[in-house]
Amino acid sequence: MKIPPFKEINPPTKDGFWINKKTKERFGGQYISPLLVPNLKRVEKGFFKAIKDKKFMTELNEELLSFIGVNTPVHFSPELTKLAGGEKKIGKIYLKRTDLHTNHSHKPVSAYSSCKLAKYLGFKKILTETGAFQNGRAVASACAALGLDLDIYVGAKDAKKLAINKDISALHGANIIEVHDSTKSLLPAMAAALRAFQSEPDSMYVVGSVAGPMPYPLLVRTFASVIGRITKKQFKDLVGKDPSTIFCVCGGGSNMLSIQYPYLRTKNTKLYAVESAGKGLKTGKHGATIGGGGKMGILLGMQSKVLLAGENIAESFTEASGLDFSSIGPEVAYLQSIGRIKFLTATDLEAKKTFMMMARKVGLICAIEACYVIHAAIKEIRKIGKPKQNHLIHLCGAGEPNVAQMMEHMKKNK
Amino acid sequence: MSKLNILFKEAKKNKKKIFIGFVTSGDPNYKSSKEIMKEMTKSCQIIEAGQSFSTSTSDSPIIMEANDRAINSGMNMKKTFKLIKEVKRETKTNTCFVIMTYLNPVKIFGLKKFVNQCNFVGIDGVIIVDSNLNSPEEKILINGLSKNKIGYVKIISPTNDDEFIKQSIKNCHDSWLYITSYYGLTGSKNVNINNVKAMIKRVRKYSKDIPVAVGFGVKTPSQVKQVSKYADGVICGSTIVNKVAQGHKKRLKGKKLATFVSSYVKKLSKGIRK
């Protein structure tokens, strides 16, 4: 297996924006304190040097294949196909299994690549943030393998919820810093990591999503797109053509772009993103930036769609820590604004029911985040209702960290 | 010429230095904050009023906590304008007022509306921490503010390269260049005098006369004195906000809290080299 090379098919402008020509909206940019400018410049310059460096890329790809196990399968799911209405009505449903990576989510690909870049550039320490601790754990494992120190910033609320991944990160030697600011979730954790980056220019910030100031949205999606590049080849080998649809869950958008990026110019493939509707969009307690009517705003160094509360950032709400984010990455927001990606939502309860269905009927314990997309995808595939279609769902994480939460749900609903 | 520019020019002519005090607008609430600013006009030639942003990426925990207090008390841009307007009217002070904030609150308030309100209220200068030097928003702000003779302050730090410093001097309009004495967060370390000297030297390579004021880590009257030896102005921020927090913890309110804070600010301002 050889990882297909990266091709830039959706470049931002020189100053780092994706611009919707019709609405003139600008997504991305670098809106940060002048104190952070040199740090970002160093990362940006180093990133472009590294991805052109054949030795670096060959080594990285080899390690992604061996250590991360990036060549996870794409396979037909007879159970989900049947559940959605059967092959004659809806075609076939396939799963991309990034839950089978080392560290059990899509995150390790960009996490390992970013840490490898940090080492290449001579940094000794990594700073990162985490929500569901999928990124935290992935970065902790990468830092252990590469001999780098690590500080993980996590919202105090999330730290309590996801004990296993937190413990695993600590076992890898990571220093875990709980953030007690504002909503005590992913957003203030990311702000805290950025503040730490401002104080420690000799450490490199590793972002867990396709968000933040440039070059991070570009860097993360470029590294993460290894998943989509492999998927594109696997799917063609398996089915003979590209998928009719690809469904992904969307918090910041990293798992979405990781698989959908190579398909952005594949006209026959419809792209979908699923946000968390939390307790329901109408209740106002949700994590759906697009579904909940997010507006253009500037936060964490980027201009993108944001859930606002007056001049400030609104609190998002969802039981899936990985989706508890009041904004989305700028490239994702741009792709939504030009109509390339269609957004759907699923509620927390729907995701929990889907978790149980996957456990009982399919035999998989999925990350709760992945259950939002499975629920919404089945609903949408039924709506499309055409035979001879080939649908692909990104199963982006394993559900061990959610076991305690789901046991509680099971007991309550007996 | 803006009032800020005149202030620095006059000071230079008279070989005097400017004392600048930062305080978070609406901390701990509108009423007490207004009294604090009114008292601060007695010892500050410039007051930087910080308009809070919930997701700030550059503030120390001291200022973050002040942001939370202000936001929780219902503070927003509109109220900051109202507060400053009332302070100016009730004190008839000569003190200049500068709004320091992040781009999101300004953009949501409306860039043009923000400039118009600054003009209407008589704001003398604006600092937007995360406004990129080359962004479209920056251009709109520079144009709007300069048309209305309102100063636009830019921040530079010891780790910025010469190209960045040159561009900052260019964008900085009718006001002063804000030099941070170290890299890091506001108030998280002590002022670094060697950095200050080196930074001023670097600025002077590109501009002989742009006023420079130094902030970050200036916490005592003797540090104020030391910095004012080299800079045209000295900025105290976190240390004042910390005093507000201390007073608030002691349950001081309104004029009592204002006196508690302002007597400290007065001590700091006396450090200015005469």
CA distance B273 to B67: 32
Q: Quick one: CATH architecture of A107-212?
A: 3-Layer(aba) Sandwich (3.40)
User: Across the interface, do B185 and A26 touch by the CB < 8 Å criterion?
Assistant: no
Q: Is the pLDDT of residue B273 over 70?
A: no
Q: Is the pLDDT of residue A110 over 70?
A: yes
Quick: pLDDT tens for B143-197: 999 999 999 999 999 999 999 999 999 999 999 999 999 888 877 788 889 999 9
So what's the pLDDT on residue A280? 96
CA distance B183 to B204: 20
Q: CB distance from A313 to chain B under 8 Å?
A: yes
The residue-averaged pLDDT of A73-85 equals: 97
Q: What is the DSSP letter of B149?
A: T
H helices present in A68-215, as ranges: 78-84, 87-90, 107-120, 134-146, 156-161, 163-171, 186-199
Q: CB distance from A212 to chain B under 8 Å?
A: no
Is residue B52 a contact partner of residue B70, using CB atoms and an 8 Å limit?
yes
Task: Name the CATH topology of A68-104+224-412.
Answer: Rossmann fold (3.40.50)
Residue B23: closest CA among B57, B47, B55: B47
Q: What is the DSSP letter of B181?
A: S
The residue-averaged pLDDT of B44-54 equals: 96
Containing H/E element for A41?
helix A37-52
Q: CB distance from B66 to chain A under 8 Å?
A: no
CA distance B104 to A70: 38
Q: Is the pLDDT of residue A133 over 90?
A: no
Is residue A394 a contact partner of residue A75, using CB atoms and an 8 Å limit?
no
User: Across the interface, do B57 and A32 touch by the CB < 8 Å criterion?
Assistant: yes
User: Across the interface, do A308 and B157 touch by the CB < 8 Å criterion?
Assistant: no
A394: which 2 tokens?
Answer: 């990104």
Least confident range from A188-197, A330-339, B72-81, B84-93: namely: A188-197
The residue-averaged pLDDT of A307-321 equals: 91
Q: CB distance from A209 to chain B under 8 Å?
A: no
Cis peptide before B28 (omega within 30 of 0): yes
**DSSP states of B46-60:** EEEEEPP-TT-SS--
- Mean residue pLDDT of chain B comes to 95
Residue A395: closest CA among B97, A304, A363: A363
Is residue A106 a contact partner of residue A98, using CB atoms and an 8 Å limit?
yes
So what's the pLDDT on residue B189? 83
CA distance A98 to A110: 13
Q: Domain residue spans in chain B?
A: 18-266
| 3-state secondary structure labels for all residues of B70-136 | HHHCCCCHHHHHHHHHHHHHHHCCCCEEEEEECHHHHHHHCHHHHHHHHHHHCCCEEEECCCCCCCH
Q: Is the pLDDT of residue B269 over 70?
A: yes
Sorted by sequence, the CB contacts under 8 Å of residue B89 that are 6+ apart come out as none
Range B18-266 has CATH code 3.20.20.70: yes
The residue-averaged pLDDT of B33-58 equals: 96
- For chain A, what percent of residues have pLDDT higher than 90? 89
User: Across the interface, do A33 and B58 touch by the CB < 8 Å criterion?
Assistant: yes
So what's the pLDDT on residue A182? 76
**DSSP states of A204-261:** EEE-SSS-SSTTHHHHHHHHHTHHHHHHHHHHHHHHSS--SEEEEE-SSSHHHHHHHG
The residue-averaged pLDDT of B205-216 equals: 95
- Mean residue pLDDT of chain A comes to 95
Sorted by sequence, the CB contacts under 8 Å of residue A289 that are 6+ apart come out as A275, A305, A306, A307, A316, A325, A326, A327, A328, A333
Shortest distance between the Cα of B14 and any Cα of chain A, in A, equals: 32
Least confident range from A248-257, B180-189, B194-203, B248-257: namely: B180-189
B165: which 2 tokens?
Answer: 């410093």
User: Across the interface, do A34 and B102 touch by the CB < 8 Å criterion?
Assistant: no
User: Across the interface, do B160 and A34 touch by the CB < 8 Å criterion?
Assistant: yes
Q: Packing angle between helix A37-52 and helix A216-224, nearest 10 degrees?
A: 30
Greatest C-alpha distance within chain B = 49
Amino acid at site B155: I
So what's the pLDDT on residue B229? 95
| ipTM for this prediction | 0.94
So what's the pLDDT on residue A43? 97
CA distances B197 to A168, B90, B193, Å, are 47, 39, 6
User: Across the interface, do B55 and A188 touch by the CB < 8 Å criterion?
Assistant: yes
CA distance A106 to A95: 13
Q: What are residue B45's phi and psi, to 5 degrees? A: -80, -25
Q: Which residues sit opposite A312 in a β-bridge?
A: A309
Q: CB distance from A391 to chain B under 8 Å?
A: no
Which residues of B fall within a CB distance of 8 Å from A201?
159, 183
Quickly tell me which residue has 């006001």 as its tokens: B175
Q: CB distance from A45 to chain B under 8 Å?
A: no
Q: CB distance from A214 to chain B under 8 Å?
A: no
Quickly tell me which residue has 């809806």 as its tokens: A90
So what's the pLDDT on residue A161? 76
User: Across the interface, do B159 and A38 touch by the CB < 8 Å criterion?
Assistant: yes
- For chain B, what percent of residues have pLDDT higher than 90? 92
CA distance B26 to B74: 8
Amino acid at site A313: I
Nearest to B54 among A29, A37, A312 (CB): A312
Q: CB distance from A33 to chain B under 8 Å?
A: yes
Torsion A402-A407-A409-A410 (CA) sign = positive
So what's the pLDDT on residue B168? 97
The residue-averaged pLDDT of B244-267 equals: 97
Amino acid at site B256: K
**DSSP states of B12-69:** HHTT--EEEEEEETTSS-HHHHHHHHHHHTTT-SEEEEEPP-TT-SS--HHHHHHHHH
Q: Which residues sit opposite A409 in a β-bridge?
A: none
Quick: pLDDT tens for A47-57: 999 999 999 99
CB atoms within 10 A of CB A362: 18
Cis peptide before A73 (omega within 30 of 0): no
The residue-averaged pLDDT of A239-260 equals: 97
SS3 B154: strand
So what's the pLDDT on residue B184? 81
Q: CB distance from A308 to chain B under 8 Å?
A: yes
Is residue A329 a contact partner of residue A340, using CB atoms and an 8 Å limit?
no
User: Across the interface, do B132 and A32 touch by the CB < 8 Å criterion?
Assistant: yes
Nearest to B157 among A29, A34, A182 (CB): A34
User: Across the interface, do A311 and B105 touch by the CB < 8 Å criterion?
Assistant: yes
User: Across the interface, do A311 and B180 touch by the CB < 8 Å criterion?
Assistant: no
> Left if phi > 0, otherwise alpha if psi is -120 to 50, otherwise beta: which for B92?
left
CA distances B46 to B127, B128, B262, Å, are 13, 16, 14
Containing H/E element for B180?
strand B177-180
Shortest distance between the Cα of B77 and any Cα of chain A, in A, equals: 8
Q: Which residues of A36-73 are buried (b: 16+ CB within 10 A; e: fewer)?
A: bbbbbbbbbebbeebbeeeeebeebbebbbeebebbbe
Residue A105: closest CA among A402, A397, A400: A397
Nearest to A311 among B76, B136, B164 (CB): B76
So what's the pLDDT on residue B274? 58
Is A10 exposed, middle or buried (CB count within 10 Å of its CB: 0-12, 13-18, 19+)? middle
CA distance A317 to A320: 9
Q: CB distance from A194 to chain B under 8 Å?
A: yes
Torsion A301-A315-B84-B61 (CA) sign = negative
**DSSP states of A322-335:** GG--SB--HHHHHH
Best residue in B53, B54, B56, B169 for a mutation probing chain A (most A CBs within 10 Å): B54
Q: Domain residue spans in chain A?
A: 68-104+224-412, 107-212
B220: which 2 tokens?
Answer: 């005592």
Is residue A253 a contact partner of residue A328, using CB atoms and an 8 Å limit?
yes
